[in-house]
């Protein structure tokens, strides 16, 4: 267990956080969330000793092993991919080296002539076995393949991989190490969808404590069972995943508002007494008592409103025809590597389409070809009437005018209607206060990418082609983009590994792999379910679908039991966090309804309306409580409907397979 006592940290005289207290719980998976810039990454560095707090202490057992994954590469690694990963078990590498040395000595001198060496060899060999030394190399390969590497990659020098793939290698090394506590700072940044799902499964069964900083809401919802919110002056833990945290946080905030207002009234009452009798000798003892009372009061702090949404819509695009884009016979190769061949694709007005697939399948290549940024080897593309394309990718930042300030760049693109909201949009994309007056030339790559995305929201276009638009965005910024895309009246194609984002905005998913594409009519969760179903029954899909085996007979009882068990497991895995969220909402609704009943009884009582009761404050609390209760009930209904839809889907699948 790690305990943080009154930690404070400043940068350049500006407080980052102060007087933070936190006990990191044992054997939990904790999501550490909070506004950008509050110091979450710095807190990780202080915990592991890479940085120092200005004041306060970190208390941890001496033998506690803590592993840390930073957001970015921090040094130059040398060696092959496999060598880098195996360094996660340096203890076993050292044992192997020593065992080999002893074996050589014993072979030369004979075991009988060196009993001490023979004894050391036996002891070391047993320790090596106990620490799983005979399996760690194969485990390293399994982890690497799960994270997305191929068997052909193991002997490649780490320096031949891109920065993102090098970060994957560091993650593999950390997972092989298996420390008591894992501190993961944005672990999903460089992963594709398949490796993301593998990582979720691995971490869900991790034998230790995990603390995760992440903007990936899908990842947090599926994995964490506790959420810690970090603000500049507090760190508060909530039971449950990210969605449950949002609900409980709002309930807590409502109660704190009521308590804070009541406290203010009590303070004002005491201050009036002090002011009235300050100069009366007969009241001096009472005045001094009241002053001491004021000094001892701990002011109730109300956390800021969470993610106040900016209501923003894309500028109205020109009226589009039915077909926005028609691609026929597209082919692209790089040397002998055929990315795809003979692809046919149409995009219609109102389409909201995700392109997914493994790394190297050609998702970004396809977007570039459709945008005209890359030429296809074969095929043709026709665009519909009045179609104006906007293509967003990481290189979109290159089109910014480096001589301008952030504010000038957006104001130059804003329509008359959007101009008053430019500063709000910039704030949503993490450019706040005086930062909007910075020259674009001094911004980092991530900041330029965010600015290019904000600029895109101001430009009218009928067709959007978006390549990883949520990179470099925090959760509130992603919500602004989601809200804008939901109201977009044109069509868009998006490549993204943000599954929550995809579920929010797309209605179709195209899977690209091995040079071919498959269309799924639904959101990401539907695609994921349908693809798993197709793969499970691929060898005998035609016969299994009508409940018959190869000989035309019914599925055996044994197979039925196996299929039923597999379906139950998949349904439980898919609905586990959803059920937890529903249970958390039900608990909050029960608490709120109990308080609602108390307030209704007070407001109905004649005694409430005497001179000593602040009836207005009761009415205000009742109004806030009703609003929160309505929000919880709406969330409960939505989550319940989602659960019913999943259950119905599995029921249909059982019926199709003839499972009783």
Structure-block tokens of residue 621: 């609390």
208 with 352, same domain: the answer is no
Q: Report DSSP letters for 560-623, one per residue.
A: HHHHHHHHHHHHHHHHHHHHHHHHHHHHHHHHHHHHHHHHHHHHH-GGGGSTTS-HHHHHHHHH
User: Average pLDDT, stretch 212-218?
Assistant: 94
For residue 272, is it within any domain? Answer: no
For residue 233, is it within any domain? Answer: yes
For residue 584, is it within any domain? Answer: yes
Beta strand 29-33 with 226-231 is parallel
529 with 631, same domain: the answer is no
* CA pair distance 89, 561, nearest whole angstrom: 41
CA 532 vs. chain centroid, Å, equals: 23
For residue 20, is it within any domain? Answer: yes
Query: Which helix or strand (DSSP H or E) is residue 84 part of?
Result: helix 81-86
Q: pTM for the complete prediction?
A: 0.75
357 with 457, same domain: the answer is yes
User: Average pLDDT, stretch 635-643?
Assistant: 81
Q: Which letter does DSSP use for residue 658 in this model?
A: T
Owning domain of residue 466: 323-535
210 with 139, same domain: the answer is no
pLDDT band for position 552 (cuts 50, 70, 90): very low
pLDDT band for position 549 (cuts 50, 70, 90): very low
Confidence at residue 297, expressed as pLDDT on a 0 to 100 scale: 85
335 with 452, same domain: the answer is yes
Confidence at residue 178, expressed as pLDDT on a 0 to 100 scale: 95
**Other beta carbons less than 10 A from residue 563's beta carbon:** 19
Q: Which of 189, 221, 240 is the last residue of a domain?
A: 240
User: Average pLDDT, stretch 232-244?
Assistant: 90
| pLDDT at position 363 over 60 | yes
Of 228, 194, 195, 193, give the one whose Cα is nearest residue 209.
228
Task: Compute the CA torsion angle 500, 501, 503, 504 (nearest 10 deg).
Answer: 120
| pLDDT at position 317 over 80 | no
Show contacts of 477-483: CB within 8 Å, 24+ apart: 477/428, 477/429, 477/430, 477/450, 478/215, 478/217, 479/307, 479/309, 480/309, 480/310, 480/312, 480/425, 480/428, 480/429, 481/453, 481/457, 483/309, 483/310, 483/311, 483/312
CA 569 vs. chain centroid, Å, equals: 24
573 with 460, same domain: the answer is no
For residue 311, is it within any domain? Answer: no
What's the pLDDT tens digit per position in 34-57?
A: 887 889 999 999 999 999 999 999
328 with 417, same domain: the answer is yes
Which CATH number do you get for residue 225?
3.40.50.300
For residue 474, is it within any domain? Answer: yes
For residue 271, is it within any domain? Answer: no
Please tell me the total count of domains within the chain.
4
What's the pLDDT tens digit per position in 11-40?
A: 888 889 999 999 999 999 999 998 878 899
* CA pair distance 444, 423, nearest whole angstrom: 20
Confidence at residue 46, expressed as pLDDT on a 0 to 100 scale: 96
| Portion of the chain with pLDDT greater than 90, in percent | 40
What's the pLDDT tens digit per position in 109-136?
A: 765 667 888 888 889 999 999 998 989 9
* CA pair distance 102, 120, nearest whole angstrom: 8
Q: Which of 144, 169, 194 is the last residue of a domain?
A: 169
What's the pLDDT tens digit per position in 472-493?
A: 888 888 888 898 898 888 899 9
pLDDT band for position 659 (cuts 50, 70, 90): low
In the three-class reduction of DSSP (H, G, I as helix; E, B as strand; rest coil), residue 187 is classed as coil
192 with 157, same domain: the answer is no
Q: Which of 111, 137, 169 is the last residue of a domain?
A: 169
Confidence at residue 545, expressed as pLDDT on a 0 to 100 scale: 36
Of 372, 472, 455, 370, give the one whose Cα is nearest residue 415.
455
Confidence at residue 560, expressed as pLDDT on a 0 to 100 scale: 66
596 with 635, same domain: the answer is yes
User: Average pLDDT, stretch 308-321?
Assistant: 70
| pLDDT at position 75 over 80 | no
Largest CA distance in the chain: 106
372 with 520, same domain: the answer is yes
What's the pLDDT tens digit per position in 522-540?
A: 999 889 888 887 776 655 4
164 with 19, same domain: the answer is no
CA 401 vs. chain centroid, Å, equals: 32
Show contacts of 44-49: CB within 8 Å, 24+ apart: 44/68, 44/183, 44/185, 44/211, 44/213, 46/7, 46/9, 47/2, 47/4, 47/183, 48/183
333 with 467, same domain: the answer is yes
What's the pLDDT tens digit per position in 410-468?
A: 888 777 666 777 888 888 787 888 889 999 988 877 788 888 888 888 877 889 999 99
For residue 140, is it within any domain? Answer: yes
In the three-class reduction of DSSP (H, G, I as helix; E, B as strand; rest coil), residue 53 is classed as coil
- 500 Cβ contact partners less than 8 Å away, ≥ 6 residues apart: 216, 217, 218, 221, 478
Lowest-confidence segment of 162-171, 370-379, 411-420 by average pLDDT: 411-420
What phi and psi, each to the nearest 5 degrees, are found at residue 59? Answer: -105, 125
- 218 Cβ contact partners less than 8 Å away, ≥ 6 residues apart: 498, 499, 500, 503
């Amino acid at each position: 267990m790690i305990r943080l006592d009154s930690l404070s940290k400043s940068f350049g005289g500006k407080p980052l956080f102060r007087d933070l207290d936190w006990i990191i719980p044992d054997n939990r998976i904790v999501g550490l969330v909070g506004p950008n810039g509050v110091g979450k990454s710095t807190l990780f560095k202080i915990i592991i000793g890479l940085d120092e707090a200005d004041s306060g202490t970190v208390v941890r057992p001496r033998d506690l092993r803590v592993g840390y994954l930073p957001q970015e590469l921090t040094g130059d690694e040398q060696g092959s991919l496999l060598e880098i990963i195996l360094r996660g078990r340096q203890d076993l590498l050292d044992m192997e080296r020593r065992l080999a040395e002893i074996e050589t000595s014993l072979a030369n001198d004979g075991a009988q002539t060196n009993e001490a060496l023979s004894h050391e060899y036996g002891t070391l060999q047993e320790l090596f076995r106990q620490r799983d030394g005979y399996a760690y190399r194969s485990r390293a390969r399994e982890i690497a393949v799960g994270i997305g590497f191929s068997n052909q990659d193991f002997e490649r020098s780490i320096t031949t991989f891109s920065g993102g793939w090098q970060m994957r290698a560091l993650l593999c090394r950390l997972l092989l190490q298996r420390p008591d506590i894992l501190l993961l700072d944005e672990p999903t940044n460089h992963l594709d969808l398949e490796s993301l799902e593998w990582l979720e499964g691995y971490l869900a069964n991790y034998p230790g404590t995990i603390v995760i900083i992440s903007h990936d809401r899908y990842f947090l919802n599926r994995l964490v069972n506790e959420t810690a919110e970090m603000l500049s002056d507090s760190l508060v833990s909530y039971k449950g995943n990210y969605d449950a945290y949002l609900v409980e946080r709002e309930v807590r905030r409502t109660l704190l508002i009521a308590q804070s207002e009541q406290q203010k009234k009590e303070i004002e009452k005491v201050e009036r007494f002090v002011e009235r009798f300050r100069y009366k000798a007969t009241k001096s003892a009472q005045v001094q008592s009241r002053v001491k009372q004021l000094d001892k009061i701990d002011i109730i702090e109300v956390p800021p409103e969470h993610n106040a949404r900016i209501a923003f819509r894309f500028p109205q695009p020109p009226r589009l025809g039915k077909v926005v884009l028609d691609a026929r016979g597209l082919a692209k190769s790089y040397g002998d590597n055929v990315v795809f061949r003979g692809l046919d694709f149409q995009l219609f007005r109102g389409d909201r389409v995700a392109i997914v697939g493994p790394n190297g399948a050609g998702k970004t290549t396809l977007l570039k070809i459709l945008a005209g940024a890359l030429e296809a080897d074969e095929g043709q593309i026709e665009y519909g009437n009045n179609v104006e394309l906007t293509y967003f990718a990481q290189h979109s930042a290159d089109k910014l005018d480096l001589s301008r300030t952030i504010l000038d760049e957006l104001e130059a693109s804003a329509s008359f209607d959007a101009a008053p909201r430019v500063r709000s949009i910039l704030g949503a994309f993490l450019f706040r206060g005086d930062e909007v007056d910075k020259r674009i030339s001094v911004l980092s790559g991530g900041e330029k990418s965010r600015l290019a995305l904000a600029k895109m929201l101001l430009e009218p276009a009928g067709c959007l082609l978006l390549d990883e638009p949520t990179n470099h965005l925090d959760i509130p910024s992603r919500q602004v983009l989601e809200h804008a895309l939901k109201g977009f009246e044109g069509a868009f194609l998006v490549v993204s590994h943000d599954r929550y984002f995809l579920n929010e905005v797309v209605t179709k998913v195209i899977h690209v792999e091995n040079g071919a594409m498959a269309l799924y009519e639904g959101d990401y969760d539907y695609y994921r379910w349908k693809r798993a179903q197709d793969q499970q029954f691929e060898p005998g899909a035609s016969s299994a679908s009508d409940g018959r085996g190869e000989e035309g007979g019914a599925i055996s009882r044994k197979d039925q039991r196996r299929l039923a068990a597999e379906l139950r497991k998949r349904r439980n895995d898919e609905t586990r966090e959803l059920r937890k969220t529903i249970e958390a909402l039900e608990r909050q609704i029960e608490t709120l309804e109990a308080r609602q009943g108390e307030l209704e009884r007070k407001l109905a009582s004649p005694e409430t309306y005497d001179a000593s009761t602040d009836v207005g404050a009761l009415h205000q609390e009742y109004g806030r409580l009703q609003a929160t209760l309505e929000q919880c009930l709406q969330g409960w209904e939505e989550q319940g409907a989602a659960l019913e839809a999943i259950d119905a889907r599995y029921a249909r699948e059982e019926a199709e397979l003839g499972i009783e």
